[in-house]
């Protein structure tokens, strides 16, 4: 069966809705309608298990397109997983069962849906739904982390009463939340196309001797999320990161460094071809003046004091040469958040400071959330506590708008 209609009136945004088998499959119909109301053209892929909950006829009537279930029985194409993955601007897996999450994380392609995911080059959004014990299982958590490290975005499940009667996390997120996230990804997909963005992340380690160093507790999570968000927005991203225990983001040029001096050198070189820099790394302010070339023994040598030398300021250095380019810095503070951030904005010469109160449990080094305040010459905007991913998306959105505004000002 050929497509039943051309979806006149769409704005050119094409979403491939992939539905897997669980009771929440009926909500995928509402998600489809929400996307259509926003002007999206939607095609649907179902697993065989999904057909047990909502049949292809329903989705065909709603979408106006033939639904793909089997790799060998899809009228519009003999190779549906390739044709559909090429067609989509965004792939939305909703609901995503534990089984589909596991298969995607391992690259298993044993049906039309998982084969399409493996062939995809467009952004992918997962909206999981499953029993709370399945969601909290270590295997599922590891699979989610693997997919996130590859740049796949998740609308995390909500807490509440589940279809089985259990109470807890695993309930499909609200339809409006899923649709909004999908639309934000579609809108952001090409906002930085053709742009080069530099991101720094993590701590630096300043050697005292071959086995000891001065450092801080930065995990690098914020910078990595910014790099992923910029990449999803179409940018060429260079990530300069200090020692972290995070997997490299997919599609990002990663330069691993150890010391502040190495980070400055790598960042300065990359910045020459960049349109923007977001400097999220927690760079050491001081480094040992005379690091030992051998391990210092406490029985032989006193360590009453370690002479320190100021490191060269990366944010100030890049800001001095930025011209019309965008430079954003971070301020990790434990008191007088806005005042300290305003002072840093003035002294460093950058465009914005993202101020973070690291004394808070929901906003400290290594946390999965941040409560930041965006400080500019126009004032300070305090954001609510958000996931680092959401903070990163806000920052990348600002970068895109600032690049566009500076470009307009020079025309």
- Give the separation between CA 19 and CA 51, rounded to whole angstroms: 9
Please name the residue that has the structure tokens 């769409």: 10
Cis preceding-peptide flag for 344 (omega within 30 of 0):
no
- Give the separation between CA 373 and CA 337, rounded to whole angstroms: 8
Alpha-carbon torsion (18, 24, 25, 31), positive or negative: negative
Q: Which is catalytic among the residues 112, 164, 241, 274? A: 164
Compute how many other C-beta atoms are within 10 angstroms of the C-beta atom of residue 18: 32
85, containing H or E segment: helix 80-87
- Give the separation between CA 284 and CA 245, rounded to whole angstroms: 18
* Per-residue three-class SS string for 261-274: HHHHHHHHHHHCCC
Nearest residue to 399 via CA among 283, 257, 229:
229
Backbone angles phi, psi at 248, to 5 degrees: -60, 135
- Give the N- to C-terminal CA distance of the chain in Å, as an integer: 51
Nearest residue to 46 via CA among 62, 372, 321, 160:
62
Q: Quote the DSSP letter at residue 311.
A: P
Nearest residue to 198 via CA among 382, 93, 309, 327:
327
Please give the angle made by the CA atoms of 322, 228 and 244, to the nearest 5 degrees.
90
**According to DSSP H, which parts of 161-259 are helical?**
175-188, 221-232
> Is 250 a catalytic site residue?
no
Nearest residue to 46 via CA among 120, 121, 65:
65
Active site residues: 164
């Amino acid at each position: 069966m050929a497509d039943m209609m051309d979806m006149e009136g769409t704005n050119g945004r094409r979403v491939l809705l992939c539905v897997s088998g669980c009771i929440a499959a009926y909500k995928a119909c509402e998600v489809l309608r929400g996307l259509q109301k926003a002007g999206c053209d939607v095609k649907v892929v179902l697993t065989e298990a999904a057909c047990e909950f909502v049949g292809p006829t329903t989705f065909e009537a709603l979408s106006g397109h033939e639904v793909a279930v089997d790799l060998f029985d899809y009228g519009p194409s003999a190779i549906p997983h390739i044709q559909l993955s090429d067609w989509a601007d965004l792939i939305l897996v909703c609901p995503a069962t534990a089984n589909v999450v596991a298969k995607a994380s391992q690259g298993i392609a044993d049906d039309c849906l998982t084969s399409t995911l493996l062939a995809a080059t467009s952004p992918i959004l997962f909206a999981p739904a499953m029993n709370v014990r399945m969601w909290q299982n270590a295997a599922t958590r590891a699979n989610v982390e693997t997919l996130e490290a590859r740049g796949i975005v998740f609308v995390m499940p909500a807490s509440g009463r589940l279809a089985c009667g259990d109470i807890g996390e695993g309930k499909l997120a609200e339809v409006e939340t899923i649709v909004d996230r999908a639309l934000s990804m579609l809108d952001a997909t090409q906002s930085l196309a053709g742009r080069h963005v530099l991101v720094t992340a993590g701590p630096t380690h300043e050697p005292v001797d071959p086995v000891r160093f001065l450092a801080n507790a930065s995990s690098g999570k914020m910078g990595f999320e910014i790099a992923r968000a910029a990449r999803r927005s179409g940018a060429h991203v260079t990530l300069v990161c200090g020692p972290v225990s995070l997997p490299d983001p997919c599609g990002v040029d990663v330069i691993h460094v150890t010391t502040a001096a190495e980070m400055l050198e790598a960042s300065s070189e990359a910045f020459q071809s960049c349109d923007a820099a977001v400097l999220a790394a927690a760079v050491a302010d001081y480094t040992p003046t005379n690091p030992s070339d051998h391990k210092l023994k406490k029985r032989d040598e006193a360590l009453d004091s370690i002479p320190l030398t100021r490191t060269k300021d990366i944010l100030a250095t890049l800001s001095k040469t930025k011209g019309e380019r965008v430079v954003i810095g971070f301020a990790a503070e434990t008191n007088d958040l806005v005042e300290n951030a305003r002072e840093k904005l003035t002294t460093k010469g950058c465009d914005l400071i993202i101020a973070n109160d690291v004394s808070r449990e929901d906003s400290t080094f290594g946390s999965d959330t941040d409560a930041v305040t965006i400080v500019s010459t126009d004032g300070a905007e305090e954001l609510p506590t958000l996931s680092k991913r959401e903070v990163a998306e806000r920052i990348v959105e600002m970068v895109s708008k600032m690049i566009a505004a500076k470009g307009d000002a020079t025309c």
